[in-house]
Every structure is written in C-alpha cells, then in structure tokens.
Structure 1
C-alpha cells in the first residue's frame, strides 16, 4: 500500500545532546529510579540507627542485623510495589484525569498498595527469619500491626506518587526522543480504476467508515478500503496518532487542542476542521 522508497527524516529537534547529556527515555528513567532507591537506602540507614539507639536507650537487646533486615525488607517491598504504582501514576494524573478525581482515585489506591506492601514485607521477613533459624512475628507497638503499617504506608504512598509523577515529567521533558523511523512517502489509495499516490504529509486526518476509511486530503475526502488499525500501523511512523477509536490525525497538522468539561477534547486542524477526540487519547496530542 505504500511506495517502497520513503523519504528520510532529519531527526528530532533535540538532537543527540541536551540537558540530560543525550540520555534516552529508558536510560533517564533507570537513572532517576536508581537515585530514588539510593535515597531510600539513606533513609533506612537513618531509621536503622534510630531504631538501635531507641532500643538501647530503653535497655533492650538490639541486633544490628535484625534492624537492617526489618528496614531492608520494607524497602525491597516498596521497590516491588513501585511497578504497579508507576503504571497507576502514568494513567491517573492531570490532565488525563481531572485533579479532584486524580486525588480521590489515588486516595483509594493507597489502601490496596499498602496491603500489597505489607504482604510482601511480611513474606520477606518470614523467609529471612527462617534462614536464620528464627520465627518472625508480625507485631506492632499498638497491637494492631495492619493499622499501624497502613498509617505509615499512606504517607509513603503519597510521597511515592509525587516522586513518580515528577520522574515521568522529567523523562517526558528532557529525554531525547528515539531515532525517528522514516515513514512512508506516499499512501496508495484505490479509487475504482485509478490509484492515487497521496503524499503522506498532505493527509490531514483519517476516519473509520465501516469496512473503509475516509482520508482527508487537500480539502477532499477519499474512500479507501482498509481498516483504521491497518492505516494506523502504516502511518504511525509518519506522525499519525489516534484521537478517537474511529479517528487518526497527523500530529503536525494540529493547530489547537481544547479540553472540554467531560474530559474529551476538540482538535482544530490546519484546514480549519474541528474534530472530537476521546479523553483516553488526549495524551497523544498533548504530549
């Protein structure tokens, strides 16, 4: 459906250097998450020595090994729980979700995340204690270990959500984009006995129409027998993104995005056409 030879691209505006020294999104993400983990190590070191000092001040026997195992198991459990937290922050954040709803949803998510952290932490400790020939007892100073940990974890989850949001924002803003894959130079569109070879850069938007797609080109609409998914796959490298389950737009043809109260949005194209987008795809044109 596309010509064999495609125009090359000159690369992104960011080039190969910048504020991050040319780090890719994956490398920058790994670096920032590693920094977070190192910060966690510093915090648990402070907690360990505070724990030891408090127990010694109370005249209680203290094992530095046990203290490190207690704090370390909690840190490792949070490192595991960071995975679902990462995806939660990625999907549930402004402007994708309105701020009041973002706060409410994350307030609810704090409970299952905390329970997951508690389960992992207790499991790690049980395994470590068994390796030492000991028995681990899940207790708390107030006699309610679940509630005790929940109170601490809600604060930790709030802090983690903010940090992960900041990491994702930094990566989106400062990581260099991946090398662009040349898109197709033209799209072959059959019209009866005639096949049009449309320059991809002149196609403004594409809409699903049953077993066909409607292609907006130079102020006219051409009907082409193909699925929207197939066209999306073919034109993705040329900068076409989905704004609705039934519509694609060429991103560099977007002139304005207006967000509605419902969370959906309107896209104004360079031709003046205004297209409705679904809120689940808003990040495709706002990122």
Structure 2
C-alpha cells in the first residue's frame, strides 16, 4: 500500500538536494581529484623507475597506485560519517578526535592497500612483499594519508559552511515565525522550517536534517514537536519528526510500521503507533 504525496522527488529537486549535501560534495570531489592524482602518480612512477634504470611494468604501476585509491574509496563513507558527527561539536574536542581518527584511518588504509596489492600480484603469479619494514611502511603512508584526510575534511567543512549560510540567506526575507533557533556547538543558527526535512532524537540532542546537511542541537524532540507541529511537522516515531510537505510516498509494512520516502531521496521508518497522525 502506497500513499502520500502525488509524486516523488523530481529530477531537479533530487539534483538540488544532492549537491547541497556536504557529504556528497566531498565524496564527488575526492572521486574526481583522487582519480586524477592516481593517474599522475602512476605515470610519475613509471617515468622515475625508467630514469633510474629500474623500469616497472605499466600494469604494476597501475596496481600500486590504484590499490591506494581503492582503499580510500572503501574508507570514504566512514571518514565522511565521522566528519558529519563531529562538525557540530566543540572545536578542540573535534580536533583531538580527528587527530586520533586520522591515525586509525591511515592504519586501515595501509592494511587494505597491502591486501589489495597482495591479491592482485598473487593473481598475476608474483609474490608481493614490502620494500621496507612494517614500521617504515606505516610511517611513510601516514605522512601521505594525513594530507588526504585533511583535504577530505576541509572540502566537507567548507561545503557544509556554505550550505548553512545559503539556507540562512534563503530564509532571511521570510517572516520570523518561519525560523527556529538551534544551537550548533557554540553557534546559534537560525533555520527556516521549510529547509528542515526531518528531525531525529539523539540522546539529549536532536539532529536536524535538510539540504544544509545535518545540525545537532541541544533540545528535546518533545520541545521541538510542540514548536513545529503547528508549522506542518508531524511525529511519525517516538524519536522522529518529519515535515509533511517533504514526504513523497508512504509504504505500509505488514507489521503496521511504515517507510517514508522523502522528496530528497532519503528514507525513514515510522511507527504504527503514529500512523494515524499522517491521515
């Protein structure tokens, strides 16, 4: 059974939501520039080895550089998840956490890269071994991984900042009744209710989701429900609140719970206890 909005998200709407999400912007940026960086490194490796009189097979060079790129692609969702979760917290706490996280990400990248290379070379009938000690290999990769990690984080934070500023500017000409105040870390952010797609409870906080990405605020869901339900929001779960006009379709499960497809392309689950509120 499916009901809800008359139509799903249009291509233009979906494209707009996609490009306003800082996680996707950072991911696409890495996909493009990471691929270019891989091409340049592979070509440089071939030239350097030829100049030293130690030529390397083109396929081997691509395997060495491509494995690093592939390992980063595997870790990219985790890096962006951590970046999004820490973006709303205290600055120095986030810096300390990123410092530790970067080390663990580098270890994971080095391990995944070695495993990929070992499989590729084994398939080619070649025994792949490190040219340095394990410690030397990890330190060498860490120096490069720090730059990659910081670059991904910088793109995410810049895109997120631009998204929040854009959301605020779009709502600057509206009546003040259409704005809500949330505390994003040490900042007070004014968000337009029409920019908020849904809100989820996160302990003593709530997480607001929309084209600006996500904002963590120290407020209760019950408090926001009282403020936002008169403005077109509805409680669909004990821990979720959704804007009615953001809903594209609703699909009811046999259990009575239901899946909500938003016009942004996101999906959230509603509880059967709250189903009648969408009637």
Shorter-chain TM-score range: 0.5 to 0.7
**How far, CA to CA, are the matches of 1:128 and 1:67 in structure 2?**
12
Q: Which residue in 2 is equivalent to 1:52? A: 46
> Match for residue 282 of structure 1?
none
Q: Which has the higher helix share?
A: 2
Residues matched between the structures, number: 176
Q: Which residue of 1 aligns with 2:113?
A: 121
**Is the contact between residue 38 and residue 66 of structure 2 (CA under 8 Å) also seen in structure 1?**
yes
Q: Deviation of residue 154 (structure 1)? A: 1.5
RCO higher in structure (CA 8 A, sep ≥6) = 2
Could you tell me which residue of structure 2 aligns to residue 159 of structure 1? Answer: 151
Give the 3 Å change call, closer, same or farther, for CA 109–67 of structure 1 in structure 2: same
Mapped to 1, the partners of 2:99 and 2:46 lie a distance apart of: 33
Measure how far apart 1:35 and its partner are: 4.1
Aligned partner of 1:236 in structure 2 is none
1:130 is aligned to 2:91: no
Contact 1:129 1:135 (8 Å CA) reproduced: yes
Residue 117 of structure 1: CA displacement? 0.6
Distance 1:107 1:242 in 2: 25
Report the Cα distance in structure 1 between the residues aligned to 2:132 and 2:162, rounded to whole angstroms: 38
Maintained 8 Å contact 1:129/1:136: yes
1:65 aligned partner = 59
Residues 38 and 65 of structure 2 are in contact (CA less than 8 Å); yes or no, is this contact kept in structure 1? Answer: yes
Matched, 1:99 2:86: no
1:25 and 1:171 in contact (8 A); partners too? no
Partner Cα separation in structure 1 for residue 85 and residue 16 of structure 2: 21
Give the Cα–Cα distance (whole angstroms) in 1 for the partners of residues 157 and 82 of structure 2: 10
Aligned to 1:111: 103
Maintained 8 Å contact 1:140/1:148: no
Gaps of 5+ in 1: 1-5, 9-14, 176-200, 205-227, 229-240, 255-287
Q: Who is 1:88 aligned against?
A: 82
**Secondary structure at the counterpart of residue 243 of structure 1:** coil
Give 2:33's match in structure 1, choosing from 20, 39, 42. 39
Q: State the superposition RMSD in angstroms.
A: 3.9
For residue 89 of structure 2, give the secondary structure of its aligned residue in structure 1.
coil
The higher radius of gyration belongs to: 1
